[in-house]
Structure 1
C-alpha cells in the first residue's frame, strides 16, 4: 500500500528547489562579473608604448597608368570656313621645322579683301596728310583756290571767326584720325584672314600622315597633315584627386609595359595639372585609383632612359616613388583636434608627455610621414588615451620595438604635476 506524501513535506521540498535556483543564478551573475572585471583589469593594466621617430620611406608607392605619346605633336584638320580648296605642301617622311608651311588654302578672295582694305587705309592716310598741309579737304581744295583768285580784296577775320575756324579744323583732323584707325582695323582683319590660308608647323618633327583628298561638304574631322616629334616620347595620363597628395614634379618613376614584361624604363614627373579635366572619360590613361569617384588631373612623365622598344600608343604602368627619406611615426600615434593633427611626445628622462602639433605627409597602412613638428630620435606614444594631459607623467612606458618596460615596478603610475 503506497504511502501518502504529506502536503507539508511537499511544500518544504518546493521551497528548497526555489532557494537553490536563486542561489545558482546569483553565483552565475557573480561569476560573469568577475570574468568581465578581470578582462577590464587586464586591459587597464596594459602599459602605454612609445616609438622612436625614424627616417625612412613608406612601404607603398603610387601606381598609375598612362600612354606613350610624342613630346610634340600637331594635327592639321580641314577647315571649310577658311576655304574649300586646300593644298598640302609637304610629304610623308619630310622633316619640318617651326614656322614651315604645311598647307595652303585658296587665298584668292582673302587676297582681294586684303588689297581693298590696304587701299582704303592708304587713302585715309593721304587725306589726313593733305588736310594737315593745306588746311582743307582734297575735294574742296580746287573750289577754294578759284574763289580766292576772284576775290583780291583784303578780308578781315575777327577773333571769334578765327576761333571757330580752329575748332572746326581740329574736329576735322580728329575725323581723319578716326578714319585711319577704322581703316587700320579693317586691314588687320583682312591680314588675319589671309594668314589663316597658310598653315605652318608648330614644332620640329616628321610628317607621318598626309591626306590625299578631302570632302569639303563633310561634317566629320578630316586630317590634312600629322606631324610628330619622332623618337621623342613622354607618358601622358590622368590621376585622381586621391593621388594628387602623393605626386609632385621631379619624382622618379619606374615604367613597365605588358608588351615587354622583362624590360623597365625610368622617368620623372614633369607636369601635374592644377585643374581637373572637364570630361574624365576622354583621358589617355587613368591612375590605379581611377575606380574611385573624384576629379581627375592630367600628368606627364619625361623618359630619362633610352626609349628602346617603346612605341607611340603603348599603354604602360608607372610606379611613382620618393627619393628622399621622411620622418615616420605609427599612424596610430596621430590624433586629430578640429582641423589640426597632434602627437604625444614622450621624454625618457622626465617621463612626461607633451602634445605637439604636426604637419602630415603621405601615409600607408602602418606609418605616417611627418612633414614638420618632430625631430628624428624623439619618442611618441603609439596610441594616445583621451585622458592624457599636457605635462602628465607616465611610468612603465613600454618600448614599442623591444616591448621592455622602462620601469620595473610593474605598475603604471600617472600623475599631473
Structure 2
C-alpha cells in the first residue's frame, strides 16, 4: 500500500514538471522575435507596360513565287547562301508566245513603213501628173481630179501612220513583258531558300521558289487589343524576351501599328471576337540574331513612365478599400494607413502615410500585428 502511494506521488510530480516545461516553452515561443526584411520609400521611375506574344521576323524579305502566266521557268540564277544586291537577276522565264509576237510586230512595222513610203512617193508624183492632165483636160479639170486623188492618198497615209504607231505601242508592250520574264531582287540580302519543287506544286497554297532576306535588321510582330491599340504609340520602348534564352533581354521600339484590324476568319466574323491590330517592333539589339526568325517572343511595351515616391508592391497590405504598411521603430512594428497612386507590376506610388526615413516591412506576413517585437534581418 505504501509502495503504491510512493509511485502515485512520483507520477504526479513528473506530470507537474512536464506541464511546467510545456507552459514555459509556449511562453518563450510566443515572446520570440520575428525576423523581417525592410525597405524604404524611394523615388523610382514607374513604368506601366503591356505584355503581348510576338514572333521574330526579318525586317526586309522578298518571296518569289512561280508564275505560270509568264511561261516556263527557264533558269534560276542564284543558290542558297548567295548574296544579292538590288537588281540582281534571280530567275528567268521562257515564253514562245512573246517571241512570236516580237516577230509579228517586226513584220507589221516593216509593212506599215513600206506603205508609208509608197504613199509619200505617190503624193510627190501628183504634181507631175497634174501638169500632164492640164494639156488634155485643162487646168481647172486637171486640178479637180488631182485634188480628189491627193485627198485620198493623204487619208491613206494617215491611216498607215496610225497603223505603224499602233504596232510600235504593241511592240513596246511585248518588250515590257519580255523584260518581266527576268525577275530581279528588290532588296539587298541573302538567298535563304531555293525550292525548285515549288514549281510543280498543284495545291492551292503556294510555296515560294526563292526566299531572300536581309539578316542585318530584325522586327518582332504581334497583335494589340482595341484598348491597347489606343494607348500605344510609335517610338515607345519595348523589352523583348524569349523562352529559349530566359536570361537574355533585347531592346526595341514600336515601329508602327496598323490602322486597320487584322483580318478575321469566316468563323471569327460570325462571333463577337474583338478586333486585334497588328503591331511591328523594331529590334535595336543586333545580337538578337542569336535566335532565328520564327521564334516566339514576349514583348513588354512601355505605355507610361513617371518618377514618383514608391514602395515594392509586396509591402502593401490590402484590407477592403484601404491599404496599409507595417513600419519598424525601436524593434516594434506599427501598422500605418497609406494612400497610393500609380501601380506597376513591381512598385506602387505612395502619396501619403509614410516618410522616406521610416523602415517598412518589405513582405509582411499574417503574423504581424501592432506592437509585435521584430528583428530586422
- Please, what TM-score do these two structures have when normalized by structure 1? 0.52
Measured on the aligned residues, the alpha-carbon RMSD in Å equals 4.2
- Shift in alpha-carbon separation, 1:312–1:292, aligned structure 2, 3 A: farther
Q: For residue 93 of structure 2, what is the aligned residue in structure 1?
A: 105
Q: CA deviation at 1:241?
A: 2.4
Q: For residue 274 of structure 2, what is the aligned residue in structure 1?
A: 294
SS at match of 1:245: helix
The 2-side partners of 1:125 and 1:57 are apart by 81
- Shift in alpha-carbon separation, 1:250–1:135, aligned structure 2, 3 A: farther
SS at match of 2:215: coil
- 1:175-324 aligned at under 5 Å gives the runs 175-213=159-197, 216=200, 218-220=202-204, 221-279=206-264, 293-308=273-288, 309-322=290-303
Moved more, 120-129 or 237-246: 120-129
- Shift in alpha-carbon separation, 1:294–1:182, aligned structure 2, 3 A: farther
Q: For residue 69 of structure 1, what is the aligned residue in structure 2?
A: 57
Unaligned runs of 5+ in 2: 1-43, 308-339, 344-350, 354-377
1:325-361: CA deviations, max 9, x gaps? 59xxxxxxxxxxxxxxxxxxxxxxxxxxxxxxxxxxx
Does the Cα contact within 8 Å between 2:237 and 2:301 map onto a contact in 1? yes
More strand by share: 2
The 2-side partners of 1:323 and 1:258 are apart by 26
1:241-278: CA deviations, max 9, x gaps? 22221121111111111111111111111122222233
Does the Cα contact within 8 Å between 2:257 and 2:280 map onto a contact in 1? yes
1:32-57: CA deviations, max 9, x gaps? xxxxxxxxxxxxxxxxxxxxxxxx98
Does the Cα contact within 8 Å between 1:83 and 1:106 map onto a contact in 2? yes
More helix by share: 2
Does the Cα contact within 8 Å between 1:128 and 1:176 map onto a contact in 2? yes
Q: For residue 336 of structure 2, what is the aligned residue in structure 1?
A: none
The 2-side partners of 1:166 and 1:325 are apart by 90
Does the Cα contact within 8 Å between 2:50 and 2:303 map onto a contact in 1? no
Q: CA deviation at 1:112?
A: 2.9
Q: CA deviation at 1:230?
A: 2.0
- Shift in alpha-carbon separation, 1:223–1:239, aligned structure 2, 3 A: same
1:82 aligns with 2:70: yes
Does the Cα contact within 8 Å between 1:252 and 1:321 map onto a contact in 2? yes
- Shift in alpha-carbon separation, 1:151–1:225, aligned structure 2, 3 A: same
Does the Cα contact within 8 Å between 1:252 and 1:323 map onto a contact in 2? no
The 2-side partners of 1:157 and 1:62 are apart by 97
- Shift in alpha-carbon separation, 1:244–1:111, aligned structure 2, 3 A: same
Does the Cα contact within 8 Å between 2:48 and 2:303 map onto a contact in 1? no
Moved more, 255-264 or 174-183: 174-183
Q: CA deviation at 1:201?
A: 0.8
Unaligned runs of 5+ in 1: 1-55, 282-290, 327-364, 369-399, 403-417
- Shift in alpha-carbon separation, 1:401–1:104, aligned structure 2, 3 A: same
- Shift in alpha-carbon separation, 1:126–1:315, aligned structure 2, 3 A: farther
Q: CA deviation at 1:145?
A: 9.7
- Shift in alpha-carbon separation, 1:241–1:116, aligned structure 2, 3 A: farther
**Count of residues in Structure 1 that have an aligned counterpart in Structure 2:** 265
SS at match of 2:209: strand
- Shift in alpha-carbon separation, 1:61–1:120, aligned structure 2, 3 A: same
- Shift in alpha-carbon separation, 1:110–1:219, aligned structure 2, 3 A: farther
1:81-112: CA deviations, max 9, x gaps? 22234321111111011111111112343233
